[in-house]
Structure 1
Amino acid sequence: MNDTPVTAVILAAGEGRRLEPLTNRRPKPMVPVANRPLLEHVVEAVAAAGIDRIVLVVGYRQERIRNHFGDGDDWDVTIEYVEQSTQLGTGHAVLQTEPVVDGPFAVLNGDRIVDPEAVSAVCDRLHAGDTPLVTVTAVESPRDYGVVHLDGDRVTEIDEKPEGPVDTNRINAGVYGFAPAIFDAIRATNTAGKLAITATLNDLAGSDEVTALGYDGRWLDVSNLWDVLTVNAALIHDSDHARDAPAAGQRVGDTVTVAEDVVLAGNVRVGPNATLSGATAIGSNVTVAANAVVENTVVLPDAVIGPGAVVRDAVVAGNARIGPNATVVGGNATVVVGDAVHRDVTLGGVVGDNTSIGGGATLTDGAVVGDDVQADAGVVIDGRVESGAVVRRG
């Protein structure tokens, strides 16, 4: 394999239901952090690692991905697309690339951000003929991921989201190195329901065939809504974003306070005496009106934050309207996602696409408001509001 170029396969077909309502209109990899889609950060890491051919596995809302990335010219790479029409697991997604992959290849998740060094390390080992490879990193909450058990540098088991005691903090970082032989191994995997690539790797691990590759660099994962804020903040603080080099069309007055950890896209309008702070990303064509306060918040394009509104620890989706003097309280909350209860997470609230929050309204305790919601002035929203609902006062 020494002279064979490595292809990068990026898995970007998933829907990301735990991120609803943000994923009602866009695939999870296209949720923006630091004003760019998650997937763009992954593509940039691959390109920076020296890989010039990328295969994107797309499915749900794939037109959003195809329209954004095109043929890859803007990133100096060649991008090809393979469709996973039904999301039947990561192993199944990898299998869809068999017709277009005929040499060594790296696999990455389109919603998990790593440094280029992780990709480069996999490429180096692939050129040395080592396959299959699994990158392993250490995290504070291994139980939420695939816990990796090792014997030296050999993987003995990948235990997905274990319920029992965990005796290691090492997890599957989600960057793999494979040879085409993996396709036959995936087909030979006997599993009910969705086919995860980790099921195939566990089969191979029984024969001492899977090598672990340690990685201690940046590893940013978006699994839940509050992760959007955490990852956005990490990217802003780790980057070279410069507030003194404003994007085209910004109109920010002299009386506006913009902290160093705020990133502004193009055509942003900020009214007098507004305050932006706390790892905030303001998307294109956003208006933040006079006297508004926006802190630790991700605001998607075309949204409007009304005069005097206070928005903390929030995600405001595209074309949403936060009315005058409305408040997203911010702070820690208990949020229910499916059957899981998540306590003490930092999430003031989420406002879906095209939703309008009336003047003087309040969002508390991690409220999650769906798309196309109309909330009257003065209402208090606590919990979840389904898309299309009308929230009336009293």
Structure 2
Amino acid sequence: MRPDSVMLFAAGFGTRMGELTANRPKPLIPVAGKALIDHALEQVQAIQPRRVVANLHYLPDQIRTHLAGQDIAFSDESNQILETGGGLRAALPLLGDAPVFTMNTDAVWQGPNALHLLQDSWNPDRMDALLLCIPRENAVGHAGQGDFLLDGQGRLTRGPGLVYSGVQILKTDGLASIADDAFSLNLLWNQMLAQGRLYGLTYPGKWCDVGHPEGIALAENMIGYRHV
């Protein structure tokens, strides 16, 4: 079954951004002349999904206003932030039962469309998830050792190596078996890892996670943006 819906994670507080998120949600921070969430939507709109859903928690009305007039549904987490796994499960009535794309809203890309690449490589007979990963040398401003190792068959294991980009295709069936209300998608990945059904794809371009204020200038420099 092909994924035809996209979940945008837009509910976080963005605390690492400091004063930049004191009165504005992180997805609305401008980078290269447009909000971070609009960089994500550029990727999304290219695949023309059936449905796009964004979850909301911190300063949600600002995001609703920014996205007004677009065909985007909202999953309201005002009462409790649910993390990635709980947030995705809460949004399933809007997303449907098919595998979904999930996408963080705090990155800038230089290269081919991230969702197209996943779409072209998705094989539901072998895969329960397909994660788009970045070689460390192409993960601009990322200081960590990486998240995953990729074997010759495309399967992932945990370890220093590739950096998870925040974009994936994921089957959601396993979410029902997790007891917690708020939880990370890492719990679902662990199930898939144990069954040898967590796969990865290496992104051939560059990527910048705008997770801290310095990331704004790094992202703009990566794509050659110049302020006027």
Q: Answer whether TM exceeds 0.5 for this pair.
A: yes
Q: Which runs of 5+ in 1 are unaligned?
A: 73-77, 160-165, 239-260, 264-394
Q: 1:175: which partner in 2?
A: 167
Query: RCO higher in 1 or 2 (8 Å CA, sep ≥ 6)?
Result: 2
Matched residue type, 1:32: P
The residue matched to 2:208 in structure 1 has which SS?
A: strand
Please tell me whether the aligned partners of residues 136 and 146 of structure 2 are also in contact (alpha carbons under 8 angstroms): no
Structure 1: distance between partners of 2:210 and 2:86: 22
TM-score in terms of structure 1 length: 0.51
TM-score in terms of structure 2 length: 0.85
Aligned pair partner of 1:213 in 182, 186, 201: 201
1:60-101 CA distance string (max 9 Å, x none): 0111111011141xxxxx211101232242112212211112
Please tell me whether the aligned partners of residues 98 and 183 of structure 1 are also in contact (alpha carbons under 8 angstroms): no
Aligned pair partner of 1:118 in 111, 114, 117: 114
Runs of 4+ in structure 1 off by over 6 angstroms are: none
Structure 2: distance between partners of 1:71 and 1:99: 21
Q: What are the equivalent positions in structure 2 for 1:124-203 lying under 5 Å apart?
A: 124-126=120-122, 130-140=127-137, 144=144, 146-152=146-152, 153-157=154-158, 166=160, 168=161, 170-184=162-176, 187=178, 195-203=183-191
Q: What are the equivalent positions in structure 2 for 1:274-289 lying under 5 Å apart?
A: none
Q: Which runs of 5+ in 2 are unaligned?
A: none
The residue matched to 2:41 in structure 1 has which SS?
A: helix
Q: What are the equivalent positions in structure 2 for 1:1-394 lying under 5 Å apart?
A: 1-2=1-2, 6-72=4-70, 78-85=71-78, 86-102=80-96, 103-114=98-109, 117-126=113-122, 130-140=127-137, 144=144, 146-152=146-152, 153-157=154-158, 166=160, 168=161, 170-184=162-176, 187=178, 195-235=183-223, 237=224, 261-263=226-228
Aligned residues with identical type, % of pairs: 26
Q: Which has the larger radius of gyration?
A: 1
1:30-51 CA distance string (max 9 Å, x none): 1001121100110111102333
Please tell me whether the aligned partners of residues 6 and 95 of structure 2 are also in contact (alpha carbons under 8 angstroms): no
Q: Please identify which structure carries the higher helix content.
A: 2
